[in-house]
Chain A
């Protein structure tokens, strides 16, 4: 019932949004989810394990797949995982991750960083 789009994907051979490797990760999720739905602790452990095996950049591909398949639970799970992965990262790391560039006037960025210096405490090394 969650996978009306999946059949469409398999029929459409020119699809380059979802690769085979990713399909093997995303598709088993609903079963896993149903099995351990009630237990938050277990889900957290599963998430930790998944995070260990997958680099944050890979997660963006997983997110695109989940978004394309309109799979809400997986999307929520992946977004949460990305948020957890990047929350302690530096400004530069986040820029690279989302493909953004600084468009501040000279001095504007320094002013902001200075005003909120406390938010830079405990940031992971790049």
Chain B
């Protein structure tokens, strides 16, 4: 063939190929193999895919047979009134009984008791997340994508089971798994204080992007499941990563732990 296509045009063609073809074409040459596995190419391909009209308005449908623990997930086109099945989402055999936490950018987060996985059906690979703390009780999950850090996160809020009314209510445990960091985000694994039907945990915010941080209290109302921010009194605090919320004397408090001493600040609440 006499005319070869310029590189930028070849890229334009490659961005329009489905993932299955790209996986196969990794075998074309070494340079294509490294190109298709580079995060720059993957991000561009994803951005293009997400902007295609044929890829918008897709629904994930789960169906299961009564008396069976196996889940079937399908991708259907919401634009089409007839609910024609577009695609079966294949799960690896051993996770077919897992429950879906959520899906973002074609990634699926699934769990079963204490095992959590992230599954990418387009490339048919999955990773097992490290085990969170073991407990008995109710749990809530979320799976999301943070575009600022290009990071995927799985959040678990665990509500330990209270055996009887006289037992002190145990605070819920919030755990976050970050795909980039590979570990639980530290602040969130501190137990959160529980007061007046809401969970309160210490967080930080940057006054200006990239600038100094200040503590704040994030409050999650368990009844209406809404987050609120509680503003703190105008006192300056010496910086530390070890900040906990607690209930002291019936009031919500923030405890700041430093190496040599513990300083506490009491925030009056309601």
Contacts and interface: CB of A to CB of B under 8 A. Distances in A.
Interface string A69-91: 00000011001101100111001
A91 B27 CA distance: 7
B13 A119 contact: no
Contacts of A119: 20-21, 23-24
Given A100-B29, A112-B27, A87 B9 contact: no
A90 B244 CA distance: 58
Interface residues of B, number: 28
Interface stretch (B30-38, B223-231, B235-243): B30-38
A52 B21 CA distance: 22
A57 B1 contact: yes
Interface stretch (A1-9, A26-34, A60-68): A60-68
A120 interface: yes
Interface in A22-55: 40
Give the size range of A's interface with the partner.
Answer: 35 or more
A103 interface: yes
A79 B8 CA distance: 11
Interface string A90-122: 010011111111111000110011001011100
Contacts of B13: 79, 82-83, 86
B268 interface: no
Given A75-B12, A83-B13, A112 B26 contact: yes
A63 B16 CA distance: 15
Nearest to B1: A99
B24 A116 contact: yes
Contacts of A123: 24
B29 A61 contact: no
Contacts of A108: 30
Closest CB pairs A-B (n = 3): A83-B16, A119-B24, A119-B23
7 contacts: A67-B6, A79-B16, A87-B21, A98-B28, A99-B4, A101-B29, A116-B26
Interface of B: 1, 3-6, 9-10, 12-14, 16-18, 20-21, 23-33, 53, 124
